[in-house]
C-alpha cells in the first residue's frame, strides 16, 4: 500500500515493533493511511491549529494529521510499547509532534497546547465516552477546543447525534447538542481495524457554539436529565417526583405534559424545565 509520507506502511511498523493491540487498553489499530488522512480532513484546515490526539497507537492517524498539514500534534499515549513507532514519526516531522506517555484522563494537556486547538482521535473504546463528557462539561464555556473529531463505536456515535423519540436519544445527545453542532461524518466497517472489532464504528464531528442553544443552569439541567433518563420509560411526573411535590405544575409551566416520557422531550423542553426549577 502506498504511504502518505516517506515512512513505512503501518503493517511494517507494527511488525517491526511487535505491536499487538491490547484489549484491556481498548486498542484497535487503523492501518489504512489513506483512511487516516480522510479522517484528519474531517477536522477541517489544521494548518493554523494545534491538534490533541488521544491514543495514537502506532501513529496511523498521527501521520494523517501531519500529512494534512497540522501545525503541531500533541499525542497522548498510555502504552509505552508504541513510543518507538511514534519517535520515528517525530524524526520525520521535526518540531511538529510532541508525545506524552500518560493517561489522557490525568494529563494536563493545556500546558502543552497553544490555541486554536482541535481534538482529533480514534479514542480507546474503554475511555472514549468519559473523555467526551469531560470535554463537553468544562467549568467555563467556551471550552479550550474549537472542534472534536472523534471515532466511536457506531452505537455511541448515534447516541451523540440522536433526536427525540429515537431509541438512541438520551443524556449524551442533550449534552452534546446543547452547546455544539454534532454530526456523523464517516462510517467505518470492522475490517478497517486490526484486530477487527465486533461492531461498526463512526466518526463524529462536534463544533462548539459560542453559548448554549437555550438558557439553563448546567447543574439543574444535568440533574433533571439524569433522573428522567434513568427511568426513561416512566412518565415524567413519576421519574421526576424527587424534584419536589409540585413537579406536575412545574412540568406544565414549562410546556411539558406530566404524562410524557423522557425520550419525547426536546432539548428546548428540558432547558425550559431547568429554568422553571431554578425559580
**Cβ–Cβ under 8 Å, residues 216 and 275:** yes
Do residues 236 and 139 share a domain? Answer: no
205 vs 191: which has the higher pLDDT: 205
Q: Does the annotation place 77 within a ligand binding site? A: yes
DSSP assignment of 34-55 equals HHHHHHHHTT---TT-EEEEE-
| Spatial distance between the Cα atoms of 257 and 264, rounded to a whole number of angstroms | 10
| pLDDT(194) > 80 | no
| Spatial distance between the Cα atoms of 63 and 73, rounded to a whole number of angstroms | 10
Domain count, the chain: 2
Residue ranges making up the domain that contains 270: 218-278
Closest to 82 measured CA to CA, from 62, 106, 111: 62
Q: Does the annotation place 30 within a ligand binding site? A: yes
26 vs 178: which has the higher pLDDT: 178
Hey, what long-range contacts does 43-46 have (CB within 8 A, 24 or more apart)? 43/118, 43/120, 43/147, 43/149, 43/205, 44/118, 44/147, 45/69, 46/70, 46/71, 46/118, 46/120
Query: Which distant-in-sequence residues (6+ apart) come within 8 Å of 212 by Cβ?
Result: 141, 178, 179, 271
2 within a domain of the structure (yes/no): no
Per-residue pLDDT tens over the stretch 48-64:
999 999 999 999 999 99
Of the pLDDT bands very low, low, confident and very high (cuts 50, 70, 90), residue 23 is low
Q: Could you tell me whether strands 117-122 and 50-54 are parallel, antiparallel, or unpaired per DSSP bridges?
A: parallel
Do residues 37 and 160 share a domain? Answer: yes
Do residues 81 and 203 share a domain? Answer: yes
| Spatial distance between the Cα atoms of 73 and 75, rounded to a whole number of angstroms | 6
Q: Does the annotation place 28 within a ligand binding site? A: yes
Do residues 146 and 224 share a domain? Answer: no
Domain CATH code at residue 148: 3.40.50.150
Do residues 80 and 168 share a domain? Answer: yes
Cis status of the peptide bond prior to 142, with omega within 30 of 0: yes
Q: Does the annotation place 55 within a ligand binding site? A: yes
Do residues 118 and 17 share a domain? Answer: yes
Question: Of 176, 208, 240, which closes a domain?
Answer: 208
Per-residue pLDDT tens over the stretch 70-95:
999 999 999 999 999 999 999 999 99
171 within a domain of the structure (yes/no): yes
Per-residue pLDDT tens over the stretch 195-223:
788 889 999 999 999 999 999 999 999 99
250 within a domain of the structure (yes/no): yes
Per-residue pLDDT tens over the stretch 226-246:
999 999 999 999 999 999 999
103 within a domain of the structure (yes/no): yes
1 within a domain of the structure (yes/no): no
Place of cell 486554536: 116
Domain CATH code at residue 257: 1.10.8.100
pLDDT at 192: 86
| pLDDT(275) > 50 | yes
Phi, then psi, of 180 in degrees rounded to 5: -140, 155
- pTM, two decimals, is 0.93
5 within a domain of the structure (yes/no): no
| Spatial distance between the Cα atoms of 241 and 174, rounded to a whole number of angstroms | 21
Query: Maximum distance among all alpha carbons in the chain?
Result: 68
Identify any residues that bridge with 203 across adjacent strands, giving them in sequence order: 151, 186
Share of the chain above pLDDT 70, in %: 96
Mapped onto helix, strand or coil, the DSSP state of residue 178 is: helix
**Cβ–Cβ under 8 Å, residues 19 and 195:** no
Do residues 204 and 244 share a domain? Answer: no
Per-residue pLDDT tens over the stretch 135-174:
999 999 999 999 999 999 999 999 999 999 999 999 999 9
Q: Does the annotation place 103 within a ligand binding site? A: yes
pLDDT at 198: 86
Do residues 61 and 99 share a domain? Answer: yes
Q: Does the annotation place 45 within a ligand binding site? A: no
Cis status of the peptide bond prior to 55, with omega within 30 of 0: no
Task: Give the H/E segment covering residue 208.
Answer: strand 201-208
Do residues 161 and 229 share a domain? Answer: no
Of the pLDDT bands very low, low, confident and very high (cuts 50, 70, 90), residue 30 is confident
107 vs 18: which has the higher pLDDT: 107
pLDDT at 21: 62
pLDDT at 1: 42
16 within a domain of the structure (yes/no): yes
Q: What is the mean pLDDT of the chain?
A: 93
Amino acid at each position: 500500500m502506498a504511504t502518505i509520507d516517506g515512512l513505512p506502511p503501518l503493517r511494517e511498523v507494527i511488525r517491526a515493533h511487535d505491536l499487538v493491540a491490547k484489549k484491556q487498553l481498548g486498542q484497535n489499530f487503523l492501518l489504512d493511511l489513506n483512511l487516516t488522512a480522510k479522517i484528519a480532513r474531517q477536522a477541517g484546515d489544521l494548518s493554523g491549529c494545534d491538534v490533541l490526539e488521544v491514543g495514537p497507537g502506532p501513529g496511523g492517524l498521527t501521520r494523517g494529521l501531519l500529512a494534512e498539514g497540522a501545525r503541531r500534534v500533541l499525542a497522548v499515549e498510555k502504552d509505552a510499547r508504541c513510543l518507538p513507532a511514534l519517535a520515528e514519526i517525530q524524526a520525520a516531522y521535526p518540531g511538529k509532534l510532541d508525545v506524552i506517555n500518560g493517561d489522557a484522563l490525568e494529563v494536563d494537556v493545556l500546558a502543552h497546547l497553544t490555541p486554536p486547538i482541535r481534538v482529533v482521535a480514534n479514542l480507546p473504546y474503554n475511555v472514549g465516552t468519559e473523555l467526551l463528557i469531560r470535554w463537553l462539561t468544562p467549568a467555563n464555556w467556551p471550552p479550550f477546543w474549537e472542534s472534536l473529531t472523534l471515532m466511536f463505536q457506531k452505537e455511541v456515535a448515534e447516541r451523540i447525534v440522536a433526536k427525540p423519540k429515537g431509541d438512541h436519544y438520551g443524556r449524551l445527545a442533550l449534552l452534546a447538542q446543547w452547546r455544539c453542532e454534532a454530526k456523523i461524518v464517516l462510517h467505518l466497517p470492522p475490517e478497517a481495524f486490526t484486530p477487527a472489532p465486533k461492531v461498526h464504528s463512526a466518526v463524529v464531528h462536534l463544533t462548539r457554539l459560542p453559548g448554549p442553544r437555550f438558557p439553563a443552569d448546567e447543574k439543574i439541567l444535568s440533574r433533571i436529565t439524569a433522573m428522567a433518563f434513568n427511568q426513561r420509560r416512566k412518565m415524567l411526573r413519576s421519574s421526576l417526583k424527587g424534584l419536589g411535590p409540585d413537579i406536575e405544575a412545574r412540568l406544565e409551566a414549562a410546556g411539558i405534559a406530566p404524562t410524557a416520557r423522557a425520550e419525547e422531550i426536546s432539548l428546548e423542553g428540558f432547558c425550559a424545565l431547568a429554568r422553571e426549577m431554578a425559580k
